[in-house]
Amino acid sequence: MQDLQNNLSISNFKEKQKSILQYSFLFFIPVVVIFTIVELLVLEMPANYKNNSEYYSNNKGTIELMAFGASQMAGAINPDFIEVPSICLASSSQHHKLDFTILKQLSPETKNLKYVVLELSTSHFELPYNSKNFWKNSVYLKYFNVNAFERKTYFKDKLIFISNPDIYSEKLKDYYLLNKDEESLNLYGFNTGEGHGVFRKHNYDEVAISKLKTTPNQKENLIVFNHNTAYLYSMLDYLKEHQIQTIICSLPLYKTYREHLNPNIVRRRDSIIEIIKTNYPDVIFLNVENDTDFKVEDFNNANHLNLRGAKMFSEKLNEILNNLD
């Protein structure tokens, strides 16, 4: 009798397990289907890294120049105005650590690489680097097969939507529901659309623009400064070892932005530039932070160039390259 009860208990337990599994499948299958559809919708949207990736895949054997940096650099370099085959791998919130990771993993494939352009803004040395879980790691893994996770990667690491659901939910809404497609990307992934920069919204009225809030990084951090400067030196050592010409750029800033910079942060940044000039004499600097050639009509906002400003900056970079030949 006891054995019969035990057998019945086991049987009931197995039936419960089976029911739980069935309900789990019924729940998870629709979730998987929904996430798959969402991921496919994200992949179908226009994106600069899609164009960039395709251009890189088709031209990596001939690329001579790679540019890195944050959003300021991404909006400043249009390879259409650079005579050597070029690619700009800059993107918003990207720091030297990710730049270096991309460079080291892609440079073996770019056998004709001669020039690397780095950004050195007033903020680069005293802002912490991206973490190893930075969401754009998934973008570079998906589109360039670059592993910036500092670990073995898994299937989910290539999923773009779940890398940053907040950002991509907004992009999905704008593109598919509101028909907002403000980007017009060339084959290099550079946005050639006029956009809706805040300066343009104010009709480039300098009086109105002077009243806009401008917030460059004011927080000093000597620990981060020491770490980031050492990291930049290691990048320069790598480029020197591989006989790649380094060009370091400090991009144009509108006067209201310059007026709010922390002078201590600027002074420390400038002191490192002087050290680089001494220890790495072959490095070329393109410092146009205070360049009066750039007018208010050349900016999207206080620290980002617009289409016209990007043309001017790209032409200045191209002039440097021509002088090297």
**pLDDT in tens for each of the 325 residues of the chain?**
445 444 445 455 455 555 655 555 555 677 677 878 988 899 999 899 999 999 999 999 999 999 999 999 999 999 999 999 999 999 999 999 999 999 999 999 999 999 999 999 998 999 999 888 999 999 999 999 999 999 999 999 999 999 999 999 999 999 888 887 667 899 999 999 877 789 999 999 999 999 999 889 899 999 999 999 999 999 999 999 999 999 999 999 999 999 999 999 999 999 999 999 999 999 999 999 999 999 999 999 999 999 999 999 999 999 999 999 6
pLDDT computed for residue 142 by the predictor: 97
pLDDT computed for residue 7 by the predictor: 47
Span 127-143, pLDDT tens digits? 999 888 999 999 999 99
pLDDT computed for residue 23 by the predictor: 58
Region for 69 from its dihedrals, namely left if φ exceeds 0, alpha if ψ lies in -120 to 50, beta otherwise: left
Contact 141, 151 (CB under 8 A): no
Cα dist from 285 to 135, 188, 261, 321, whole Å: 31, 24, 21, 12
pLDDT computed for residue 14 by the predictor: 54
Q: Coil, strand, or helix at residue 24?
A: helix
Which candidate, 164, 167, 129, 137, places its Cα nearest to that of 153? 137
The burial class, CB within 10 Å (0-12 / 13-18 / 19+), for 22 is: exposed
Q: Where are the alpha helices (DSSP H) in the chain?
A: 2-44, 48-59, 71-74, 96-106, 136-144, 165-172, 198-201, 206-210, 222-241, 255-258, 263-279, 307-324
Region for 134 from its dihedrals, namely left if φ exceeds 0, alpha if ψ lies in -120 to 50, beta otherwise: beta
pTM equals 0.89
Contact 47, 160 (CB under 8 A): no
CA distance 95 to 144: 18
pLDDT computed for residue 2 by the predictor: 46
Q: Which residues contact 255 (CB under 8 A, 6 or more apart)?
A: none
Which candidate, 317, 286, 254, 251, places its Cα nearest to that of 79? 317
What residue type is 111 in one-letter code? K
Length of the chain: 325
Q: Is the dihedral of CA 87, 92, 96, 101 positive or negative?
A: negative
What is the DSSP track for 142-168? HHH----SSS---GGGG-SGGG-HHHH
Region for 179 from its dihedrals, namely left if φ exceeds 0, alpha if ψ lies in -120 to 50, beta otherwise: left
| Per-residue DSSP letter, 304 | E
Span 182-205, pLDDT tens digits? 678 999 999 998 777 899 999 999
Contact 74, 314 (CB under 8 A): no
**How many other C-beta atoms can be found within 10 angstroms of the C-beta atom of residue 128?**
12
pLDDT computed for residue 4 by the predictor: 42
Number of Cα atoms under 13 Å in the Cβ half of residue 123: 22
What is the DSSP track for 233-257? HHHHHHHHHTT-EEEEEE----HHH
Pull the structure tokens for residue 113. 């690489």
CA distance 260 to 218: 8
Phi/psi at 300 (5° precision)? -80, -45
pLDDT computed for residue 34 by the predictor: 82
pLDDT computed for residue 30 by the predictor: 72
